[in-house]
Amino acid sequence: MPETTSIMSIRDLTVYFESNGEKNYILNGLSLDVRRGQTLALVGESGSGKTLAALAILGLLPTAATLVAGSIAFNGENLLDLTEDRLQEIRGDRIGMIFQESGMSLNPLMPIGKQIGETLIIHRGLARKSTHEQVIALMEMVGIPDPRRRYNNYPHQLSGGARQRVVIAMALACRPDLLLADEPTTSLDSTVQAQILDLMSRLIQDLRMSVLLISHDIGVVASLADRVAVMHAGLVIEEGNVHDILKSPLHPYTRALLDARPSLRKAVLGDQLAAFTSSIPANPSAMMGCPLADVCKQAVDICRLEPPPMVFVDQDHSVRCLLFGRPHD
């Protein structure tokens, strides 16, 4: 994939947690590209390391995590080499964030208008007064009705949907180059989810945003993503445009994952998917063959002998499975 089209390129990201002397590899050489002006959905089961990947991008890995290797190229810098001061400049400014349940993380003691303005004060060095009109414009942009009156509302005076709109306004206040959206609609009820999805879809188009979207929900992925990267055992095992991945998935794991539609949450996993999940070893890269070889119904001898490389099935669709041929150079 040509690097020039990417706003962010993650290569070989490897992260483990250690418990009782055993290293538990969560990210095991994760590589992906977010193309400029496009939305890449990172999908995978609960616990597969999606949020951890987002935290690594932001330099916010938990202290218990060890980052062994990898690089994250963003705007010509490797985010993993930066000082904390530089990362703070980038977070919220060049990279906007919407986290799982971020509506709950708003400061309950600060009016929402002021909270949206904080981002502009921190990153743009603006005085509070001069943020006011920009904040009103941002509130309008995210569809908060009557923003001049709402400016002084506290989070508890807003509905869950309106709080999520505030979070989106904060994430976009500095017009970031990249938006990380981790389950942006998961905590909302379904009518509100649909409204927030509409809003995000419109903003992504209008602002031509580059987005890394993390979601369990195929409906969310289908309505927002241009491309999809499927994660298993800490690696991307299939990547392609959203149409190909959802309509013609190739990897046996992707197929099992999609069979568990509409939600990919553990409670509704199919049997095959459950087998794939329980087979993940603590250190997949130490294995000889494919981590799925013992449970995959299509496995052949060679699957147990060598780790599967990423294979391009066409220019735009790649899959980490020996059944689909040999890798391109």
Ligand X SMILES: Nc1ncnc2c1ncn2[C@@H]1O[C@H](COP(=O)(O)OP(=O)(O)OP(=O)(O)O)[C@@H](O)[C@H]1O
Which residue ranges make up the site for ligand X (CB under 6 A)? 17, 26, 44, 46-52, 62, 64, 216
* Beta carbons of 24 and 281 less than 8 angstroms apart: no
Give the residue with the Cβ less far from ligand X, 17 or 312. Answer: 17
- What tokens were used for 159? 């509905």
d(CA 187, CA 308): 36
- Of Mg ion, ligand X, none, which one does residue 113 interact with (CB within 5 to 8 Å by kind)? none
Q: Which stretch binds Mg ion (CB under 5 A): 48-56, 134-142, 162-170, 197-205?
A: 48-56
Rank residues 134 and 187 by Cβ distance to ligand X and give the closer one. Answer: 187
Residue with tokens 């580059």: 210
To the nearest whole angstrom, how small is the minimum distance from the Cβ of residue 99 to ligand X? 10
- In the shown chain, the binding pattern of residues 4 to 43 toward Mg ion, with x for contact by CB under 5 A and - for none, equals ----------------------------------------
Residues in the chain: 329
Instruction: Find which of Mg ion, ligand X, none residue 227 binds, CB within 5 to 8 Å per kind.
Output: none
DSSP label at 92? T
Q: Which does 251 bind (CB under 5 to 8 A by kind): Mg ion, ligand X, none?
A: none
Output 109 or 267, the one with its CB closest to ligand X.
267
Which range of residues in 21-29, 46-54, 120-128, 285-293 is near Mg ion by CB under 5 A?
A: 46-54
Q: How far apart are CB 284 and ligand X at their closest, in Å?
A: 13
Binding site partner of 38, from ligand X, Mg ion, none, Cβ cut-off 5-8 A by kind: none
Q: Which is nearer to Mg ion, 51 or 263 (CB)?
A: 51
The two tokens of residue 302 are 């060679």
Q: Which of Mg ion, ligand X, none does residue 49 bind (CB under 5 to 8 Å by kind)?
A: ligand X
CB atoms within 10 A of CB 2: 7
Q: Work out whether 283 is an interface residue with Mg ion (CB under 5 A).
A: no
Residue keyed to tokens 């409906």? 219
186 binds Mg ion (CB under 5 A): no
Residues 6+ apart with CB under 8 A from 184: 98, 164, 168, 196, 200, 213, 215, 220
Find the shortest distance in angstroms from Cβ 203 to ligand X.
23
Q: How far is the CB of 273 from ligand X (least distance, A)?
A: 14
CB-nearer residue toward ligand X: 177 or 182: 182
Nearer to ligand X among residue 34 and residue 158 (C-beta): 34
Torsion of CA 252, 53, 31, 38, to 10 degrees: 90
Contact 72, 155 (CB under 8 A): no
Token pair, residue 313, equals 């099935």
For 179, the enclosing helix (H) or strand (E) is: strand 178-182
Backbone angles phi, psi at 236, to 5 degrees: -80, 125
Supply the minimum distance, in Å, between the C-beta of residue 50 and ligand X: 4
Return the closest-CA partner of residue 135 out of 155, 149, 158, 114: 114
Give the containing element (helix H, strand E) for 69: strand 65-74
Residue 51 found at the interface with Mg ion (CB under 5 A):
yes
Contact footprint for Mg ion (CB under 5 A): 51
